Amino acid sequence: MNLLLNYFFERPQQSVSDVVVTRRRSRRRQRPVRTGRILLVLLLVVAAVSASGWYGYSYLDDRAAGIKQEDLITATVCVGPFDHIVIEQGEIESSSNIEVICEVEARGGSGTPILWVIDEGTRVSKGDKLVELDASQLEVTLKDNRIQVITAESALASANALLEQATIARQEYLEGVYKTEEKAIQSEIAIAEQELRKAQLALESSERLVAKGLVKSLQLDADRYSVANASNQLESAKGRLTVLQELTRKKMLVQFDSDINAAKADVAAKQSSFEEERQELLDVQEQIANCVIYAPADGVVVHANRYSRRGGDSEFVVEAGATVRERQAIIRLPDPTRMQVKCKVNESRITLIEPGMPARIAIDAIVGMELRGVVVKVNRYAEPGSWYSSSIKEYAVWIEIIDPPDNIRTGMTAEAQIFVEQLDDAIQIPIQGLYEHGGEMYSLVQKGPQTFETRKVKVDATNDAMASITDGVEEDESIVLNLRSHLSLLDLPELDQVDNSDMRDISERMRNETGDGENSLRTDLEASIANADPSMVEKMESRIRSDGNPDGSSGAALGGMPNPAAIAGLSMDLYDTDSDGMISTTEIDAIDDPNRRDSMSAADTNGDGNVSRAELIEAIRKRTGNASGGPGGRGGGERS
* End-to-end Cα, the chain, rounded Å: 48
Q: What is the pLDDT of residue 1?
A: 35
pLDDT in tens, 138-188: 999 999 999 999 999 999 999 999 999 999 999 999 999 999 999 999 999
Q: What is the pLDDT of residue 579?
A: 81
For residue 245, the 8-state DSSP code is I
Which of 68 and 599 is assigned the larger pLDDT? 599
Q: Assign 490 a pLDDT band (cuts: 50, 70, 90).
A: confident
Mean pLDDT, the chain, integer: 79
Mean pLDDT to the nearest integer, 227-249: 93
The whole-angstrom separation of Cα 102 and Cα 287 is: 10
Beta bridge partners of 531: none
**Which has the closest alpha carbon to 346: 375, 307, 385, 311?**
385
Q: How far is CA 221 from CA 212, 301, 361, in A?
A: 16, 118, 133
Helical pair 613-624 and 516-531, crossing angle rounded to 10 deg = 130
Give the rounded percent of residues in the chain with a pLDDT score beyond 70.
Answer: 76
**Which has the closest alpha carbon to 73: 478, 585, 578?**
478
DSSP 3-state of 93: strand
Q: What is the pLDDT of residue 638?
A: 38
Where would I find the beta strands (DSSP E) of 12-169?
Answer: 56-59, 74-76, 78-94, 97-101, 112-117, 123-124, 129-133
Q: Assign 634 a pLDDT band (cuts: 50, 70, 90).
A: very low
Other beta carbons less than 10 A from residue 506's beta carbon: 10
pLDDT of 15 higher than 90? no
Give the rounded percent of residues in the chain with a pLDDT score beyond 90.
Answer: 41
The whole-angstrom separation of Cα 477 and Cα 74 is: 10
Q: Are β-strands 129-133 and 97-101 bridged in parallel, bridged antiparallel, or unpaired?
A: unpaired
Q: How far is CA 143 from CA 104, 278, 280, 282, 484, in A?
A: 18, 12, 11, 12, 82
What does the angle CA 283 – CA 284 – CA 289 come to, to the nearest 5 degrees? Answer: 95
Number of residues that make up the chain? 640
The amino acid sitting at 387 is W
What stretch(es) of the chain map to CATH 2.40.420.20?
A: 2-76+427-489
pLDDT of 637 higher than 70? no
Q: Which segment of 139-148, 334-343, 489-498 scores lowest on mean pLDDT? A: 489-498
Which of 397 and 527 is assigned the larger pLDDT? 397
Pick the CATH number of 2-76+427-489 from 2.40.50.140, 3.40.50.150, 2.40.420.20, 2.70.98.10: 2.40.420.20
Other beta carbons less than 10 A from residue 145's beta carbon: 20
Q: What is the pLDDT of residue 584?
A: 86
Q: What is the pLDDT of residue 254?
A: 95
Q: What is the pLDDT of residue 567?
A: 77
Buried b / exposed e over 454-469, threshold 16 CB at 10 Å, is bbbbebbbbbeebbbb
Q: Assign 358 a pLDDT band (cuts: 50, 70, 90).
A: very high
Where would I find the beta strands (DSSP E) of 229-365?
Answer: 292-294, 299-300, 302-303, 306-307, 314-316, 323-324, 329-334, 339-346, 358-363
DSSP string, 324-353: E-TT-EEEEEE-TTSEEEEEEEETTTGGG-
559 CA to centre of own chain: 53
CATH number of 137-290: 1.10.287
Q: Which segment of 6-20, 234-248, 466-480, 618-632 scores lowest on mean pLDDT? A: 6-20
The whole-angstrom separation of Cα 420 and Cα 414 is: 18
DSSP H or E stretch at residue 458: strand 451-462
pLDDT in tens, 182-225: 999 999 999 999 999 999 998 888 888 888 878 778 888 888 89
pLDDT of 47 higher than 80? no
What stretch(es) of the chain map to CATH 1.10.287?
A: 137-290
